[in-house]
Amino acid sequence: MEEYRKSSSPQGPASPLDWTNGLLLLHSCPPPLDQHLLRLLGHSAVSSSQRNRKSPLNAAGLQQLPSRLIQYPAAPSKGRITVTTEDLACLGSGEFLNDVIIDFYLKYLVVEGVGGPVADRSHIFSSFFYKQLSRRRAAGDDSTTSVPDRDMRHQRVKTWTRNVDIFTKDFLFVPVNQEAHWFLVLICFPGLEEVQYQEFQSPTGGSERAAGNSSAFSLRSQQPPQCTQQGWQRDSVLKRPCILVMDSLKLSYHENVCRLLRDYLQVEWAVRRGTPRHFSSDSMKSCRCKVPQQDNSSDCGLYLLQYAHSFLQNPVVHFELPLRLGSWFPRQLVRQKREEIRALILRMSQTQSRQPLP
């Protein structure tokens, strides 16, 4: 029987999962204990066989090292991502996607122009961006105690956008991993300071426009309209600065993530624009979108990638919050994604193996 033990983090609970609902979900799962949910709850399940598990050995008894499959984009492009056989293995059934696969596929979507003009108006951060942004100060570091936390965090990641002005982009994709759980945060219209409303035809045939701040009047039907381009019916809010959270596990919470991202935007704006701007929860609202949910504990990374893929292909055009995207794509699309990405990497590997090394 597996040993069930509580994590003893000195910082207290850091889990993104609601404790009470999480336990109900955990106990409803058949044995063995679900590793992913345990990690989200701040626990771990460790068996003696897992403690003694070692890396694969070759015939000579030496640990096998992962071999390189591809570099993407191909040389001489900058910012290349190296995918190895070890990375490919995490695309196996029931495995958790690692940061390399997440970064590779997100970059592939943008470089290959999936979604056309939407990709050109977007910037995708590396999966390491939020990890570095949210890292705590080193214990005993007294040299920077006078520097505000938001400025310290910005210092760690300021070079990541030195060649791009993120405030000229409409959409910023931020992959986040918390307690081994992946979800997507989408920052919309970071350079916009006010909500923009779209003109529409009133029931009397005249033209009306809702203008001003976010509390301005807007017409809404009894049933909320579809908010994507393909399902568009009638808009009131055309654009708004906001943070959309797309999470395939509905028990997670994200307020701290949104707060850190607002702090980052505030400092980045001051650096780029040379003027102050306060990114508050009122001026840049956050919203947990109603999106398709995973039905197991291992596909969160795949759902993150599909959220990004679907947004680029069928972007949101209606920004009246909360967004309802529950029918955005069928679950079968996610189930096919492991093999889709695996086949893509192997095709690229075959192509690159026929080319001379840089």
Q: Which residue has the higher pLDDT, 247 or 61?
A: 247
**Res. 42: pLDDT tops 90:** no
Catalytic residue flag (residue 289): no
Catalytic residue flag (residue 34): no
Q: Which residue has the higher pLDDT, 144 or 308?
A: 308
Every domain of the chain and the residues it spans: 3-51, 68-140+163-353
Helix 300-313 × helix 337-353 angle, to 10°: 80
Structure confidence at residue 56 as a pLDDT band (50, 70, 90): low
pLDDT at 140: 59
Structure confidence at residue 300 as a pLDDT band (50, 70, 90): very high
User: Pick the catalytic residue: 87, 300, 309, 318?
Assistant: 300
pLDDT at 63: 52
Beta partners for residue 176, in sequence order: 183
* Distance in Å from the first CA to the final CA of the chain: 52
**Res. 100: pLDDT tops 80:** yes
Q: What is the mean pLDDT of residues 198-205?
A: 55
Positive or negative CA dihedral for 24, 27, 32, 33? positive
Beta partners for residue 237, in sequence order: 197
Q: What is the CATH number of domain 68-140+163-353?
A: 3.30.310.130
CB 284 within 8 A of CB 265: yes
**Res. 191: pLDDT tops 80:** yes
User: Pick the catalytic residue: 247, 254, 287, 309?
Assistant: 247
pLDDT tens for each residue of 57-80: 455 445 566 799 999 998 777 889
Q: Which residue has the higher pLDDT, 220 or 191?
A: 191
Catalytic residue flag (residue 242): no
**Res. 145: pLDDT tops 80:** no
The letter for the amino acid at 202 is: S
Task: Go through 317-336 and write b for each residue having 16 or more CB atoms within 10 A of its CB, e for each that does not.
Answer: bbbbbebbbeebbeeeebee
User: Pick the catalytic residue: 36, 181, 254, 318?
Assistant: 181
**Per-position DSSP letters for 312-349, written without gaps between them:** HHS-B----SSPB-TTSS-HHHHHTHHHHHHHHHHHHH
Rounded CA-CA distance 244/339 in Å is: 28
